[in-house]
Structure 1
Amino acid sequence: MKVEELKYDEKGLIPAIVQDAATKEVLTLAYMNKESLEKSLQTGETWFYSRSRQELWHKGATSGNTQQIVEIKYDCDQDALVVCVKPNGPACHNGTNSCFVESVYQNKEAIESNVSDYQILANLEKIIEERDINRPEDTYTTYLFEKGVDKILKKVGEEAAEVIIAAKNRDVEELKWEASDLIYHLFVLLREQKLPFSDILKVLEARHEEKQGK
């Protein structure tokens, strides 16, 4: 399929759904024209067309939050794209990983029965992100953000110590709970530091690839 063979609308645009290649989370919806799509293919990073400014824009040109393209797919009607990327930081200008944060509807039972092991972590990161942005009252996560980094660091240290004690005592049930608490507080710390979990995965992936090459 050539760029010019895709079906653009009357303004020469085609919708591009940007998706995290690792987590499969939908990051944003943008638009491309032939020129921005060609630039995306040439550079390996996302370029879009701004309908408000009526000009091309390179994602991350000013923020540094570029998106490395893994794959671009088109639908059966050839009039929409899915751009799978490795994001180098938040996709949204509000500082969130995804532009799609708030829900109109949630079927919690269906969500809970259809989450992969990694998706549980992605959901946790999203909930913590929402707590940081909205700061709802009477939630523990809001309390941690309001207290600041010193309190969060203290909790990470406490939970790490509890993990060590549980493991030393060979108490598997206690270890499960303490490890879960440690992961939660670590995610809060990552959010406070504005460090996406996907960046941690990139480091792990790079280490894996390095070992595979030896």
Structure 2
Amino acid sequence: MKFADFKTNSDGMIPVVVQDYKTNKVLMLAYMNEEAFNNTIETGKMTYFSRSRNELWVKGETSGHYQYVKELAMDCDLDTMLAKVRQVGVPCHTGADTCFFNNLVKKEYDDTNPMKVFEDVFNVILDRKENPKEGSYTNYLFDKGIDKILKKVGEEATEIVIAAKNSDPQEVKYEISDFLYHVMVLMAEKGVNWKEITKELSRR
């Protein structure tokens, strides 16, 4: 599709809702004009039009927090774009992992879906691998390499066995959580993701 096919607003732009392609978390909302759209298509980097600065804006050009295009889609009215991206660093100038952090209304709901929790933690680990953070234990493991990671996986597995022999179920939960974290570090190191693991489990 060409930009001419879209239904733009009075300023000749369309709003763009931006999502993380792995987690589907909504990262931000921005606007594109035709030049920004064409630049996005040509470079593979999300490019917007800054209404406050009245200029073209390649996201991450000054901060290094680029957004690499994974998928672009238009809604049924062709007046709003949904962009799924690989976000480098954080999308918000405040340092938050989403621009939508000012809660207005929130009803209680269970946000501890196991697969969602695994994916969220794993994505943080992947982000640490790509964007090292000083003082991060995860980066310490990556820096030490595969032998250190394997040693920790083995240690945590042994601690699960020891905890299971004791009478405190909380200790078992704690050690299993430690084990799963270190396994996820191993997964990241070896290039294995949860989709591949769950696919293998469902096959058995």
The TM-score range, normalised by the shorter chain, is 0.5 to 0.7
Q: Aligned residue pairs: how many?
A: 166
C-alpha change, 1:49 and 1:205, in structure 2 (3 Å) is: farther
Aligned pairs (5 A) from 1:163-174: 163=156, 166-169=159-162, 171=164, 173=169, 174=171
Match of 2:120 in 1: 122
Calculate percent identity across the aligned residue pairs: 33
Deviation, 1:107, is: 1.6
Q: Report the Cα distance in structure 2 between the residues aligned to 1:8 and 1:2, rounded to whole angstroms.
A: 12
- Residue 49 of structure 1 is matched in structure 2 by 49
1:112 and 1:97 map into 2 onto residues whose CA distance is 17
* CA distance in structure 2 between the aligned counterparts of 1:51 and 1:14, rounded to whole angstroms: 12
Gaps of 5+ in 2: 125-134, 139-151, 197-204
Aligned to 2:188: 204
Distance 1:106 1:116 in 2: 21
**Paired position in structure 2 for 1:143:** none
Q: CA deviation at 1:208?
A: 3.9
- The separation in 1 between residues aligned to 2:74 and 2:47, in whole angstroms, is 16
Partners of 1:40 and 1:26 lie apart in 2 by 19
AA at the equivalent of 1:105: V
Shift of the 205–49 alpha-carbon distance from structure 1 to 2, 3 Å rule, reads farther
Partner of 1:107: 107
1:205 is displaced (CA, Å) by 9.2
Q: Do the aligned partners of residues 54 and 182 (structure 1) sit closer, same or farther apart at CA in structure 2, a change above 3 Å counting?
A: farther
Partner of 1:166, secondary structure, is: helix
Match of 1:12 in 2: 12
Shift of 1:100: 1.1
Q: Cα offset for 1:167?
A: 2.0
Shift of 1:103: 1.4
Aligned with 1:175 (options 172, 177, 199): 172
Inter-partner Cα distance in structure 2 for 1:104 and 1:180:
33
Q: 1:61-80, aligned counterparts within 5 Å?
A: 61-80=61-80
CA distance in 2, matches of 1:31, 1:11: 10
Q: Which runs of 5+ in 1 are unaligned?
A: 127-148, 154-159, 187-196
After superposition, residues 124-203 of structure 1 pair within 5 angstroms as: 163=156, 166-169=159-162, 171=164, 173=169, 174-180=171-177
